[in-house]
Amino acid sequence: MLNAIEKPINRRFKLWLDRRIPPMRKIMLNQKRLFIFPSKPGRWFVAVLFVMFLAAINYQNNMAFALVFLLASVFIIAILHTFANLAGLTVSVGKSNPVFAGDMAEFELFLSRHGNKDYFDINVSWPKSELRSVSLTSTDRQKINLHLPMAQRGSFRPDRLLVESFYPMGLLRCWTLLALDVVVLVYPKPLACELAANAGTDALEEGELIPVSGSDDFYDFKQYHQGDSPKHVFWKGYAKGQDLVTKQFASYSEQRLWLEWVSVDGGLEERLSKLCFWVLKLDKSHDEYGLRLPGIEIQPGHGEQHKADVLKALAMFQLPGSAA
């Protein structure tokens, strides 16, 4: 029954937060975005203070009244200092590199102070991440890295970031929940396998000679045509009375493999993991490769950008927001 009540409350609180603190890549903390409540020691402090006040009334003791009012003043001043320790702080996001499912994703965050103001004992964390404690006194900007486990492929957006401080006395907790506009791409987890015997290749076989302009390997002669480069004309043969011919040059073709949906077996995630393994293997061997999935075709190529495009297609295949 309690859980049934908590869910609507949490949902309404989340909607309220989305309106009050929308997702951004850079957020400055101000009165609108900060919340402050007594901490657990602070609640005990208030309770003891209330008991002391009742005792002072009961015994009509002026010294007891003075002590209660003094401690109450300290508590009120602590409210101002605890709030000021986060006010003006700017939180921004840096880069977040793609990772494979099962690995830890690293998120780069920056805390920047307002002017020359010092900040002490600021705790920063995401649910399921480690907690980082930062103070900004001698530097204007502090970089921190937080890590989160990636359980499955796709596009991952972390929950709201918790930023809190109990400085200076620990009696109050000033905190906020920030929705940072950061997304990390999670590739399928590579799974070693063998490709099926019918894995697709281009019409050219590995090692076949093909004419390539500018290559240094002589291939054959062809009849001269107007526009052919004079430096490729076989002038020695022409001087001996032979027909005017042009030299052809060639190079050996590289293996160009098609990674196809039908070349691996298993369920959806298993197939994607196996194809991911072969993408990394072919990229390491500098072979050209293309990808064919249902509704997706990426032409053969190589290099970092080509690998990133292929891995992204595997990561987002049949997920909301994908092109397929």
Mean pLDDT of 12-16: 85
The three-state secondary structure class of 271 is: helix
pLDDT average, residue stretch 2-11: 59
Tokens of 319: 């997920």
* 126: three-class secondary structure by DSSP: coil
Q: pLDDT tens-digit profile of 145-158? A: 999 999 999 999 99
132-136 average pLDDT score = 92
* In a shared domain, residues 37 and 179: yes
Domain match, 153 and 226 both: no
* Residue 310, helix vs strand vs coil: helix
Q: Are residues 130 and 172 in the same domain?
A: yes
Where in the sequence is the domain holding 53, given as residue range(s)? 16-187
Query: To the nearest whole number, what is the mean pLDDT of the chain?
Result: 84
pTM above threshold 0.75: no
Asked if 51 and 71 sit in the same domain, the reply is yes
Assign 322 a pLDDT band (cuts: 50, 70, 90).
low
Rounded CA separation 241/250 (Å)? 26
311 and 229 both lie in a single domain: no
Phi/psi at 322 (nearest 5 deg)? -85, 160
Mode of pairing for the β-strands spanning 141-149 and 104-112: antiparallel
Q: In this structure, are 25 and 144 located in the same domain?
A: yes
Check residue 42 and give its pLDDT.
95
Residue 119 has pLDDT above 60, yes or no: yes
Q: Quick one: 73 and 172 in the same domain? A: yes
Q: CA–CA separation, 54 vs 274, rounded Å? A: 72
pLDDT on residue 199:
56
Higher pLDDT residue, 250 or 177? 177
Check whether residue 30 and residue 167 sit in a common domain. yes
pLDDT tens for each residue of 40-65: 999 999 999 999 999 999 988 899 99
> Residue 83 falls within a domain, yes or no?
yes
